[in-house]
Chains A and B, each alone.
Chain A
Amino acid sequence: MRHLLDTKHLSRAEAIRILDVAEDMADTQQREVKKLPALRGKTVVNLFFEDSTRTRISFEAAAKRLSADVINFSAKGSSVSKGESLQDTAQTLQAMAADAVVIRHAASGAPRTLATSGWISAGVVNAGDGTHEHPTQALLDAYTMRKRRHGAGSRGRDLEGMRVTIVGDILHSRVARSNVWLLQTLGAEVTLVAPPTLVPQDVSDWPVQVGFDLDAAVAEAPDAIMMLRIQLERMNAAFFPSEREYARTWGLTTDRLAALPDDTIVMHPGPMNRGLEIASEAADSARSTVLEQVTNGVSVRMAVLYLLLSGSNENED
């Protein structure tokens, strides 16, 4: 694997390979000494143009547990705000001989621009770009679903037959996009539920069902329901009238939680707005995988960095 820019172009075999390596990584994390020597001498740069403490520390933990050297580069001023350009930043990292760059950027497509510009030779991992994709989030979600479904027999398996409902701001969600493509690749069926204002205008290419009625979607008894974070500034842009109406119509309330089958898992990429898109009872219930997702995130990111940097990929693209 040269880069990980999106899940749209990830094959089933590549995805399952990442998830299986993540299983191996997770096994090592049960040991007393969690650190592996695999990436000793490699330098991983966390290049974050947007604040995201959760994602950054997850990547940092992953890289450190593989013995890579980690540089955190918080580039607050992007070229959008007239700071240093992406090109200059990238060339600086190249001059410092970074082996992998984990990039978070507010601009959709910035990781692809970085990877294809010729500015750097490092592998690029997309840690969330604008409203485009967040591939490691989708991979950790898939890992979490697979683990809940197949347990210790997860290796080599996909998500064939799983029915997953994603609820919330699809329009602005990189998590939703990455999940849509990856879940499709792994054989799951995906339903999106959102206010019509928060669904892209034309999703005819997407391998999903789209609905506007969360109660109807709950009644379908999905295997997993994934609640997306709602950003309150959307309210001011007339996407929905009020917090109260949103929570009542599209939130995972206690009533809806009760209406779900006992084995439906409840997912959220975090950070949560408790009481808005998800009630505390749902977030803290035994069906919730919110903290498992965080744990699995480290294993999945270890797998991605390992596959990117371990040198076993010379004959791939």
Chain B
Amino acid sequence: MTENLLFRGARIEGGDVADIRIEDGRIAAVGTGLDADGARVVDVAGLIALPGLVDLHTHLREPGYEASETVLTGSRAAAAGGYTAVFAMPNTSPVADTAGVVEQELALGEAAGLVTVQPIGAVTIGQKGERLAELGAMASSRARVRVFSDDGFCVWDPLIMRRALEYVKAFDGVVAQHAQDPRLTEGAQMNEGRVSAELGLTGWPAVAEESIIARDVLLAEHVGSRLHVCHLSTAGAVDIIRWAKRRGVDVTAEVTPHHLLLSEELVRGYDARYKVNPPLRRDEDVQAVREGLADGTIDIVATDHAPHPAEAKTCEWPAAANGMVGLESALRVVHQAMVRTGMLDWADVARVMSRTPAEIGRLDGHGRPIAAGEPAELVFYDADATGVFTTSDLRGRGINSPYLGRELPGSVRYTVHDGRLTVDDGRVTA
């Protein structure tokens, strides 16, 4: 029997102040002056209440890479960041390309119990880009997969991509594309441009991302399918998505927190914490993705949380792994990059970090309004706090955060998943 909770004095999505009463895993009432009636009363005066965050792009590493992260440690990181649901990318070992593996992932998530872990299925067998995985079997499995991605690799073959887009229509699925032309990015180490020219690092040109996105929106239009573009990072990619949406193409796009805040200038010291794929881009690109998110061209923020063991990052740049952890810092970074700049308000944040990701992923029970009768998936955020981000803010196994030592606004104080506190006064409960 879980205890009932009464959150007193929250600002609902940054607006009106109200109490929120939670009973039996659901929001029982939202209003002022609610009666405690035996519930534990939590004072959240001044905190912003948002629907629990939903991450459409998380790497949990289990099974296979437990030195980097497990479903449990990744769930802790998620809860600490205010997330109540994460979509787990399939680049595990074995790859999540069968009903068996996605059901295992689901079960691990349920056992951890801190967030809803919704598996993503691979598009192709072994993410090799050659033959379609059993997408239907994964869709009809207990994990009811709706998002398919070969993330880490691009579904490069245009015919395989076309077939995948068509096939997933049968169960209202979506293909989430990692847009990267493999030939144009052989050996690529960082964004191609002024900085790569000086540092002598092989360039990852913007056109390698943009050409695949352009192809894919045209394919999606041609076959009338739903397309999602992962971690969009360039100004040109924003233009292509804007053009496609105006044409009526059924496309959605995500941007990561790091592409909203950080630029390629950080690579100059060869500190591999800043090595990520797609790479950090130019200041102009950072501005363009912010504007794209603000005007709705980009639909959501997704973390691309990518934990790695320390030795994968404390080495020479070309030998280092791509990726950054992001779950614990995402809301604070979005606060810094988008809210403080006046480009989004808190209701917008609820939309881009909770409601729309749940809709794209067809995930029930998340991203719902804060209202009586809705599932109790919530986060309470102190927007007035500020602090230097340190390893003590990290709850997952990876410490490869680009924000260590950087001052960030905000603090996640409480997270509620399935009616229970997973973060209580800033501390993960399990």
Contacts and interface: CB of A to CB of B under 8 A. Distances in A.
A113 B316 contact: yes
B194 A113 contact: no
A268 interface: no
Contacts of A204: 194
Nearest to A173: B200
Contact of A86 (B192, B200, B205, B316): B316
A80 B189 CA distance: 14
A206 interface: yes
A316 interface: no
Nearest to B270: A109
B327 to A, nearest CB: 27
A78 B314 contact: no
Contact of A177 (B192, B198, B317): B198
Contacts, number: 82
B196 interface: yes
Interface string B139-176: 00000000000000000000000000000000000000
How many A residues are at the interface, by size bracket?
Answer: 20 to 34
Nearest to A49: B316
Contact of B197 (A85, A86, A113, A200): A200
B201 A109 contact: yes
B192 A201 contact: yes
Interface in B166-215: 189, 192-194, 196-203, 205
A116 B202 CA distance: 22
Contacts of A177: 198, 200
A85 B311 contact: yes
A201 B316 contact: no
A246 to B, nearest CB: 21
A109 B271 CA distance: 9
A23 B137 CA distance: 76
Given A201-B192, A202-B194, A174 B200 contact: yes
B319 interface: yes
B200 A108 contact: yes
B315 interface: yes
Contacts of A202: 192-194, 197
A256 interface: no
Nearest to A110: B316
B205 A117 contact: no
Contacts of A110: 316-317
A116 B273 CA distance: 14
Interface string B259-270: 000000000011
Contacts of A107: 316-319
Interface in B249-290: 269-270
Interface of B: 189, 192-194, 196-203, 205, 269-270, 311, 314-319
Given A130-B201, A205-B198, 6 more contacts: A80-B316, A106-B318, A109-B199, A109-B201, A109-B270, A177-B198
Would you list the 4 A-B pairs with minimal beta carbon distance, nearest first? Answer: A109-B270, A132-B200, A200-B197, A131-B200
11 contacts: A78-B316, A86-B315, A107-B316, A109-B201, A110-B316, A113-B315, A113-B316, A177-B198, A201-B193, A202-B192, A205-B198
Interface of A: 8, 78-80, 85-87, 105-110, 112-113, 116-117, 129-133, 174, 177, 200-206
